[in-house]
Amino acid sequence: MKTMKRLLTTLAIILLGINLMAQTATYQQVVSKEVKGNITEYVSSQGISVKETDTLVLGPPTGNHNDYAYIQQEFAMNFYPLKSQAIGSRVTIKNMKASSKLVYLWTTKPSGGVYGLYVSSLEGALESGEISVMGMITSDQALEMLKKEKDKLDLGLITQEEFDKKKEELSKYIK
């Protein structure tokens, strides 16, 4: 009986620990410092959900000299600039952390890269287009798609109902 009680107590502690480790943080919770430490999911100010193990696609750099403003190569706590040759590379999120009103993350190395990547501000990288979540579309992409649908409507290739449905789908991505 004592062994069974110990076993159940140990199991409960393990499950509680796993549950505490799996933490979702929203933009507002991070900015208000309500959530700190390791997180497994982040929901940006734009409503984009980013999870550990998600695949990210590197967009064009927005920093000086064709460097990324929010993304660097990281090796043994040393940081190195990431150049524009990484555009289009896919990386996988290994770890995310909320601290000092920001979400940081570490990834696998990009195609042709030597080191994994460190993202100093997930929010900034998403907003600038330096990274996107595989399968998500940007505001500009959604706007371009909507314009094409409008052209189809104007040419009589689709109905008003079809256009309205597509507009509803795409509007949530347009800033």
Amino acid at position 27, single letter: Y
Q: Which residue has the higher pLDDT, 90 or 139?
A: 90
Beta bridge partners of 79: 74
Query: Distance (Å, rounded) from C-alpha 110 to C-alpha 99?
Result: 25
Query: Distance (Å, rounded) from C-alpha 123 to C-alpha 102?
Result: 8
**Tokens standing for 111?**
């195609």
Does the pLDDT of residue 16 top 50, yes or no?
no
Query: Distance (Å, rounded) from C-alpha 84 to C-alpha 113?
Result: 12
Domain range list for the chain: 7-133, 139-171
Per-residue confidence (pLDDT) for residue 11, from 0 to 100? 52
The stretch 26-54 carries a mean pLDDT of: 93
For residue 45, give the H/E element and its range. none
The stretch 81-98 carries a mean pLDDT of: 92
Question: Mean pLDDT, the chain, as a whole number?
Answer: 86
Taking the whole predicted model, whether its pTM rises above 0.75 is answered as: no
Per-residue confidence (pLDDT) for residue 18, from 0 to 100? 42
The stretch 127-156 carries a mean pLDDT of: 86
**Tokens standing for 80?**
């190195």
Per-residue confidence (pLDDT) for residue 166, from 0 to 100? 87
Per-residue confidence (pLDDT) for residue 140, from 0 to 100? 78
**Angle, alpha carbons 36-42-44 (nearest 5°):** 110
Q: How confident is the model at residue 10 (pLDDT cuts 50, 70, 90)?
A: low
Number of other CB atoms surrounding residue 106 within 10 Å: 15
Query: Distance (Å, rounded) from C-alpha 49 to C-alpha 28?
Result: 13
Q: How confident is the model at residue 155 (pLDDT cuts 50, 70, 90)?
A: very high
